[in-house]
């Protein structure tokens, strides 16, 4: 048995996908000219497949803050937070995020993925039970594996199933940690947090919400879906990332529990990974200020999301959720999905191709995401491209 035997089925599948045009998982952005425009294969292309929800990657204040930090503090910390990698900026960033989230403890991690790994594995152990929404992100599943806790999956967005599974656990002597997401990244649907919070209270459990895609997007102050649903006080742990609304890289875990600060000394990804660079800290700090001070960014984001969602619905696409910044259209099979993805790129529109095993139920999706930086004209161009693709598919498959 060879070490690489486990990969035997991948080359054939990869070749079938690439044979239809391109490698969708290695598209090169040759130039990035704005938050919504890139150059691919020498052609101007509308970027409708990023998570740049507030359009801050080209914000002049963020760029200037990063440039200044780079010049004054160098390119990197070269150490973990525990060793030599805690700069004053890290502490200022944690304080600013705490003010925005209205939570006393915030711990910054090098990536959003590591925030979930570190927080879950640090919080839960072999004597604990984790109840996880079946559609949670891979990093949440990996954190659960690292923790050694007993893991129980409940049906996606089903407080009733969560309640049943907690009831079956009875009064067994273990801590119970419920994990869900705010805005789910694949379908663009949201968790019923009000109902989940009620189940949490009834069973004296802890509630952990990954708000990676919802911080900066939901809530009057951009705190996330828990704020939107008025259940922020019921959420014990909020985890998020800097690579979506904040336009950078990194992650965090925040909590209202007095002992949460000690997670720093129990989280291996926190203890043994070099911390984010001074320039990254500076850009995230400035972006966080914009979340707090510029609600008009969220307003534009939601107008744009409604524009694209309603337009795709009118074109006859089967969408996976109600309006959100993530707008996924179901495809009948992988071949059609890959063909449509290639056709959209030919027409100057980049979206995400989502196929098994990366989708929760094995569906094939064309996944778009909106930004506050998209113009109405760009969204109209996106819709024109989708309309043309729809006509092409109907010629090949009249039943679609």
| pLDDT per residue of the chain (400 residues) written in tens, 0 to 9 | 799 888 888 888 888 899 999 999 899 999 999 999 999 999 999 999 999 999 999 999 999 999 999 999 999 999 999 999 999 999 999 999 999 999 999 999 999 999 999 999 999 999 999 999 999 999 999 999 999 999 999 999 999 999 999 999 987 778 999 999 999 999 999 999 999 999 999 999 999 999 999 999 999 999 999 999 999 999 999 999 999 999 999 999 999 999 999 999 999 999 999 999 999 999 999 999 999 999 999 999 999 999 999 999 999 999 999 999 999 999 999 999 999 999 999 999 999 999 998 888 889 999 999 999 999 999 999 999 999 999 998 766 655 5
Domain end, chosen from 275, 293, 311, is at 293
**Do 342 and 302 fall within a single domain?**
yes
Q: 223 and 119 in one domain?
A: yes
Residue-by-residue DSSP string for 113-141: HHHHHHHHHHH--TT-EEEEETT--HHHH
Regarding whether 155 and 33 lie in a shared domain, the answer is: no
Q: For residue 26, give every residue at least 6 positions away whose Cβ sits within 8 Å of its Cβ, in sequence order, or none.
A: none
| Predicted pLDDT of residue 89 | 97
Residues 301 and 279 in one domain: no
Sheet holding 326-331, edge to edge: 326-331, 364-369, 352-354
Q: What does the pLDDT read at residue 8?
A: 86
Same domain, 262 and 311: no
Same domain, yes or no: 330 and 260: no
Say how far apart CA 166 and CA 154 lie, in whole Å. 10
Domain assignment of residue 16, yes or no: yes
130-139: b (≥16 Cβ within 10 Å) or e: bbbbebbbeb
The H or E element containing residue 356 is: none
Residue ending a domain, among 252, 269, 293, is 293
Residue 109, both tokens: 């991690």
Question: How far is it, in rounded angstroms, from Cα 98 to Cα 90?
Answer: 12
Residue 330 lies in a domain: yes
DSSP code of 80?
B
Question: Could you tell me if 50 and 164 lie in one domain?
Answer: no
Residues 325 and 262 reside in one and the same domain = no
Domain membership of residue 22 as a residue range: 5-57+295-396
Rounded to whole angstroms, how far apart are CA atoms 312 and 21?
24
The pLDDT assigned to 399 comes to 55
Same domain, yes or no: 230 and 279: yes
User: Where does a domain end: 276, 293, 310?
Assistant: 293
Q: What integer pLDDT is reported at residue 328 of this predicted model?
A: 98
Structure tokens at 67: 């440039």
Q: How many domains does the chain have?
A: 2
> For position 341, which CATH number holds?
3.90.1150.10
Are residue 114 and residue 229 in the same domain, yes or no? yes
Residue 63 domain-assigned (yes or no): no
> Which residues, at least 6 apart from 372, have a Cβ–Cβ distance to it below 8 Å?
53, 54, 55, 297, 298, 300, 301, 304
Q: Is there a domain that residue 66 lies in?
A: no
Q: Judge whether 282 lies within some domain.
A: yes
Q: Is 39 helix (H, G, I), strand (E, B) or coil?
A: strand
DSSP 88: H
Residue 306 shares a structural domain with residue 289 = no
Residue 110 lies in a domain: yes
pTM, to two decimals = 0.95
* Omega prior to 357 cis, within 30 of 0: yes
CB 256 within 8 A of CB 103: yes
Let me know if residue 64 belongs to a domain: no
Contact present, 253 and 210 (Cβ < 8 Å): no
CATH number of the domain that 82 lies in?
3.40.640.10
Evaluate whether residue 69 is within a structural domain. no
> SS3 of 9, please?
helix
User: Do residues 201 and 121 both lie within one domain?
Assistant: yes
- Which helix (H) or strand (E) segment holds residue 346: the answer is helix 334-346
């Amino acid at each position: 048995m060879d070490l690489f035997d486990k990969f035997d089925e991948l080359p054939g599948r990869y070749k079938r996908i690439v044979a239809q045009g391109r490698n969708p998982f290695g598209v090169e952005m040759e130039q990035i000219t704005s938050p919504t425009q890139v150059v691919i294969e020498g052609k101007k292309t509308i970027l409708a497949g990023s998570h740049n929800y507030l359009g801050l990657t080209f914000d002049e204040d963020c760029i200037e803050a990063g440039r200044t930090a780079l010049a004054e503090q160098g390119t990197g910390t070269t150490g973990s937070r525990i060793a030599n990698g805690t700069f004053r900026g890290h502490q200022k960033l944690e304080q600013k995020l705490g003010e925005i989230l209205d939570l006393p403890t915030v711990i910054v991690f090098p990536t959003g993925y590591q925030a979930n790994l570190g927080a879950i594995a640090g919080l839960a152990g072999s004597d604990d039970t984790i109840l996880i929404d079946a559609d949670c992100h891979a990093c949440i599943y990996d954190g659960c594996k690292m923790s050694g806790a007993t893991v129980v999956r409940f049906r996606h967005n089903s407080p009733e199933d969560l309640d049943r599974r907690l009831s079956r656990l009875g009064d067994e002597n273990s801590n119970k940690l419920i994990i869900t997401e705010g805005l789910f990244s694949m379908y663009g649907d949201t968790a019923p947090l009000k109902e989940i919070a009620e189940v949490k209270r009834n069973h004296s459990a802890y509630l952990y919400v990954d708000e990676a895609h919802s911080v900066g997007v939901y809530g009057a102050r951009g705190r996330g879906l828990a704020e939107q649903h008025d259940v922020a006080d019921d959420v014990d742990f909020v985890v998020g990332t800097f690579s979506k609304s904040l336009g950078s890289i990194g992650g965090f875990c925040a909590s209202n529990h007095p002992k949460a600060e000690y997670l720093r000394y129990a989280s291996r990804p926190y203890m043994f990974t070099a911390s984010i660079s001074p320039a990254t800290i500076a850009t995230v700090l400035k972006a966080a200020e914009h979340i707090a001070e510029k609600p008009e960014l969220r307003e534009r984001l939601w107008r744009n999301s409604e524009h694209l969602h309603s337009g795709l619905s009118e074109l006859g696409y089967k969408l996976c959720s109600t309006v959100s910044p993530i707008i996924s259209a179901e495809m009948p099979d992988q071949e059609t999905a890959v063909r449509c993805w290639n056709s959209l790129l030919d027409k100057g529109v980049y979206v995400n191709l989502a196929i098994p095993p990366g989708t929760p139920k094995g569906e094939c999706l064309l996944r778009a995401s909106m930004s506050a930086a998209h113009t109405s004209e760009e969204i109209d161009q996106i819709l024109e491209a989708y309309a043309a693709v729809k006509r092409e598919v109907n010629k090949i498959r009249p039943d679609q």
